[in-house]
Structure 1
């Protein structure tokens, strides 16, 4: 099928008679490309302040406005996709069709975020001196006031206690209108994607203690690996290699003790170093280790996409920090009253990574030879869509 907008010459000229796909239908109202996209309203939104309040238009302000408006349009699409994914995750049972929709929509979010990262390059075609020509007209307007970006953060799962306060104030105080505040408060109250993913991972087949009991088998395998390393140390005669093995043994023991001890795990969560519940982390690790099993294939892709979302947002923040430093330097205040560069730089830490547990999951992976083998019953269970009724 040809491009839906231009298959009928009359539509290009804005004339009556025909639908968007060029097929006449008396019951279908006439629609032109311009009207369908509401281009008159959309394009009329570009109103440079320098032209309104200054003597003449500052050329680069036009680019500045369009770039940020494009960001907001993509933010709207990300929210739309996030809401649909959250709804799919809200179900107790997620069948294969839903899994495909989840991976497809999460992938779309990742692709959009990659586009937003690259879009900063367009703003960088603007010289700092050109930006200064119209910056004074921005008054207190700041990107910090993007309601949609805050909603995205909340819907993903950024918690208030992990945020860096804006000019010693909570982030919501910069929004003076009730509509914006209501949108943000609602996004805080709704179950975040992070919470829904945790509940989903907690239901990972194979975690049941009266079944396959993955966690006990995994812990036994790790202990066997640590004991093997201890034996290597005792047998090693080269002092340099022996010291390296001792360091590796100490680090591995400390790492896995912090994983298996639920009280230490909860302490990590309390400090903001981890986000997932202990059981959700177990599920994520099991999916990663047995990702080649048919039933875990798509869940593994979902975990990868969630990690990519965190990575893309972090890259976007980082590129934004570099651009701000280039445009106004490190010590000039932001237009909204923040510390500018230093505030933005503080948002690059792990406290803003919603799926930080997935990002750090690789430190708990073990060599393939130590991965607990699946029982025939568990192998069968992971090879079909529905759970097997066979006992483990």
Structure 2
């Protein structure tokens, strides 16, 4: 292979740095003369995870660059590029989840052959993964058992993660993008007719939508669904229970409801993919938790955490995009959707002009 830019001939192994990669597996058991065949598998699996984390970070950083722009044209390549790279992250996460199948070919006794040699190293100390969580939007204050981060990570790595918290996360940039979506201007809604019984003190679309939604609840749902939560979620009334602003959640719900319009398709796909990533990350934690229970039962982790119990708590608490899943409670059938004003309908269609 010849590179036309450098005129340097490339050789496969040199280009990929295989000497470094393939000599980076140094089983502790081998160094100590202990027979622990599966330690090689354990090392390679975790090194592979770290390589995939690096690729996810590479894709995420490019998406962050796109969303740091003050405006994103949904007809321009930038959003489509972001969707494409987000989909790549989805496929990588599917691979990371399925990779647990290979690790589970190791039995508890196989693991015990070398487990004590790992102490106090632990997957908990994966700095790349902690940085990835932080860049996505998981704050230290919202982490499960956050005391472990001070004790299990070295001070330099703790400071790296804290430094990232001072930068805008993807969740914050996503919120700002949603808030900028120009669909609520009253010029579109001046002649919008409210149904009888709809509230008059909120935006006409939301007055209509709230009335339509509440009117469609059956008796069992009326007992289970409190409209105060709707008002808190989308209007900021009462106690705030979300990390995202009401305006951004309004836009997310609107995109979901009217995703059949051409200009809503890309935003819908983008949001949908990040919900899928949130689910895949939770599934990965679940698979890891189940494997740890099978391997070591209720013993503590090599890094000093509570093992499976810690992983269970992290799985339940570390949903970064959980606010978006809440809006599905408030969807209504297409047949009942408020008909959009013609001027706004035209805006949401592709135009050759």
TM-score by length of 1: 0.81
Alignment of 1:8-27 (within 5 A): 18-19=1-2
Answering whether residue 265 of structure 2 is matched by residue 292 of structure 1, we say no
Tell me if structure 2 keeps the 8 A contact 1:63–1:123. yes
Distance (Å, rounded) in 1 between the aligned partners of 2:267 and 2:283? 24
Q: Which moved more, 1:29-38 or 1:67-76?
A: 29-38
Cα 1:283/1:186, change in 2 over 3 Å: same
1:185 is aligned, of 162, 168, 178, to 162
Alignment of 1:1-392 (within 5 A): 18-19=1-2, 28-53=7-32, 55-95=33-73, 96-165=76-145, 169-176=147-154, 178=156, 180-209=157-186, 211-212=188-189, 215-227=203-215, 245-254=218-227, 255-264=229-238, 266-268=239-241, 274-330=242-298, 332-349=299-316, 351-384=317-350
Number of residue pairs matched? 339
Distance (Å, rounded) in 1 between the aligned partners of 2:294 and 2:215? 53
3-state SS of paired residue (1:333): coil
- The alpha-carbon deviation at position 257 of structure 1 amounts to 4.0
Tell me if structure 2 keeps the 8 A contact 1:219–1:260. no
The match for 2:199 is: none
Distance (Å, rounded) in 2 between the aligned partners of 1:171 and 1:285? 35
Cα 1:224/1:286, change in 2 over 3 Å: closer
- The alpha-carbon deviation at position 375 of structure 1 amounts to 1.0
The match for 1:237 is: none
Distance (Å, rounded) in 1 between the aligned partners of 2:160 and 2:8? 34
Distance (Å, rounded) in 1 between the aligned partners of 2:77 and 2:288? 37
- The alpha-carbon deviation at position 98 of structure 1 amounts to 0.3
Cα 1:190/1:225, change in 2 over 3 Å: closer
Cα 1:226/1:188, change in 2 over 3 Å: closer
Tell me if structure 1 keeps the 8 A contact 2:189–2:204. no
Distance (Å, rounded) in 1 between the aligned partners of 2:170 and 2:98? 25
Tell me if structure 1 keeps the 8 A contact 2:231–2:237. no
Tell me if structure 2 keeps the 8 A contact 1:218–1:371. no
Q: Which moved more, 1:155-164 or 1:112-121?
A: 155-164
Cα 1:30/1:65, change in 2 over 3 Å: same
- The alpha-carbon deviation at position 256 of structure 1 amounts to 3.0
3-state SS of paired residue (1:112): helix
- The alpha-carbon deviation at position 189 of structure 1 amounts to 1.8
Q: Which has the larger radius of gyration?
A: 1
Cα 1:119/1:382, change in 2 over 3 Å: same
Cα 1:342/1:92, change in 2 over 3 Å: same
Runs of 5+ unmatched residues, structure 1: 1-17, 230-244, 269-273
Tell me if structure 1 keeps the 8 A contact 2:278–2:321. yes
Q: Which moved more, 1:372-381 or 1:169-178?
A: 169-178
Distance (Å, rounded) in 1 between the aligned partners of 2:234 and 2:136? 27
Tell me if structure 2 keeps the 8 A contact 1:48–1:57. no
3-state SS of paired residue (1:34): helix
